[in-house]
Every structure is written in structure tokens, then in C-alpha cells.
A = this chain, B = another copy of it.
Amino acid sequence: VTVLCLPRRIAELLPDDLPDGVRLVTWNGRDQPVPADCATVDLLVPSYMAGALDAATLVRFSRLRAIQLLSAGYDGWPAVTPAGVRLCNGSGIHGGSTAELAVAGISALLRDWPRFERYRAEHQWRDDRTDAIAGKHAVVVGAGDIGRRIGTALEAFGAEVSLVGRTAREGVHWAEELPGLRASADIVVLAAPLTEQTRGLVDAGFLAGLRDGAILVNIARGGWVDTGALVAELNARRLRAVLDVTDPEPLPAGHALWDAPNLVLTPHIGGGTTGWDVRSAALVADQVRRLHAGEPLRHVVHLG
């Protein structure tokens, strides 16, 4: 099994006891020419958050069997994945830290943390009553690793949670039920991949169907949401939002989102926290062993 692992940090963290015959090829994936031995590569591990490689490059990897991404999202990749190649996402690597960011962001809005920071600066012990997650109805769109972690934490904090997935199953609502669930939601969390089906799904009409004061959380991809429509709802102070991803991204200085009210805004920091490299290397090592042993790969999200 020949592995081309673009992020040097992850290659360095791979264990010494990989199966015999596993060979690592190096390439920085950017300005260097594609390595001559690309035709020997079985598994390609692209850089985290660098975007999809182009189809013309990938087609030169003539023996490629799988692409292992280090992100949960995989937008842009299905279109360029060569025929017969399995595309795997990095499920589990960023799930905990992304769920943490989403829930902490919701809490910052509901509990009005800035108010208590102000009181503290004034040495004022004022225990004003605020809202909280308890008793809220949260609709979590996406029943994968991240969505389930968010649901578990929100339930622990006393919310009623509805998980929505592409297919109905035990404990998961069908995507077609989303318009109905939306009407009773206090919180809607986007925690599913950006695909051709989900791009722009949260548009002016979707937002209009949300209750006054509802909180939209996007820790998936900016392309889910019509940014202009959301800015209008925020500026009207009708809706609230927690955004770790935006469209466009990065957000240019002067963009209307920077100063919008009712908004917790962070610069795509849900994943990539301390330990992401160790978790990434462990997943790559496991997939290499599986390829070597002829076992099924984990987290296959698309077959080219």
C-alpha cells in the first residue's frame, strides 16, 4: 500500500508499526510538480481545509483506491473523485470540538454572557434571570458524528432534540419533515454536508418560516445559507444566529455580518483544535491497515 499524505504533520505522527510494505510518498500538494510516482499511490490524504484538488491532477493517480479527507465536510470532492475511488471523510476527528463550539455559541446568546462580563468589570454581583437551553426545542439537521454529539449535549442541558437525516431511521426524522419541525424550533443547527441538494437551502423563505427569536446555527459550510437573507433577519432583530462558517469565507473586512446584531461569529474554528493531528493520524493509520488487510474502509461518503 503506497500512501501520499500531504500534511507533513500527520505523516510524522503515523505510527512506526504500519504493516510491512506500506510506503509513504511526499509532495506538498501545491507548488511542487506532481511526483513522478503518483501512479503508484493507493491512498491520498489531502491537506486539511485546502479545498479539492483538480480533476486533471487526480486522474494521474492511476492506481488510486481511496481519498481520506481530514475534514467532516467534503464539498467539491465528489465531482473530482476518479471512477471507482472511495472518498472518505474525517468523521470523528473534529466532532467533539465542533459540537462544543456550536453549543457554547448557543449558550452565549441565550445566557447573555456579555452582560455578566460587563457587571464583572463593574464589580457588580447582579444575578439577573436569563434564558437557557433547558426547555428549548432544537432541530439538528445532520445525524452524523457532529449532529449526534450536539444533540446529546443539548439534551443533557434540558432541550428537546429532533435529529433530521437524509433517511428516516430509529430516532432520526426524514429530511422531508424539516419544514414541519422548523415551525416549532427554537434552535436550528446545520450539521450536515454541503451538497448540491443542500446548497442555499436556508434561503429567505426558510428563514421566514422560523419563529421570532429563533437561533440558526451553522457549523457546517457557509453555502447552506443565503447570507443576504440572514443579514436582513439579524438586522431586523427577528432572528439570532451562531456562525462558524460563512459565505463568502473568509469574510472580508467591511462585510455586513461582522457588525450584525444577535450574532455569535467565529472564523471557522469548530475543528482543528489541539489534538486534531493525533486523531487524524490515528484515522489514517487505521485506514492504511484496512487497505492492506483488504477490509472495508470507514467513513466512505462517496464512490467515484
Contact = CB atoms under 8 A, between A and B. Distances in A.
A120 interface: yes
Contact of A97 (B108, B149, B150, B158): B158
A103 B150 CA distance: 13
Contacts of A96: 132-134, 156-159
Contact of A273 (B130, B254, B255): B130
Interface string A242-284: 0000000111011100100000011111001111001100000
Contacts of A250: 125
Contacts of A273: 111, 129-132, 134
Contacts of A266: 116
Contacts of A131: 273-274
A195 B303 CA distance: 60
Given A258-B123, A273-B111, A100 B134 contact: yes
B123 A254 contact: yes
A131 to B, nearest CB: 5
A250 to B, nearest CB: 4
Contacts of A124: 253
Nearest to A120: B265
A107 B95 CA distance: 15
A254 B195 CA distance: 55
Interface residues of A, number: 54
Contact of A104 (B108, B119, B251, B265): B108
A62 interface: no
A170 interface: no
A18 interface: no
Which of A107, A135, A156, A253 is the most central at the interface, judged by chain B CB atoms within 10 Å of its CB?
A156
B267 A129 contact: no
A243 to B, nearest CB: 11
A99 interface: yes
A183 interface: no
A101 interface: yes
Nearest to A100: B157
Interface in A69-116: 95-97, 99-101, 103-104, 107-108, 111, 113, 116
Given A104-B108, A134-B97, A275-B134, A127 B157 contact: no
Contact of A156 (B107, B130, B156, B258): B156
A152 interface: yes
5 contacts: A96-B156, A97-B157, A101-B111, A129-B269, A153-B153
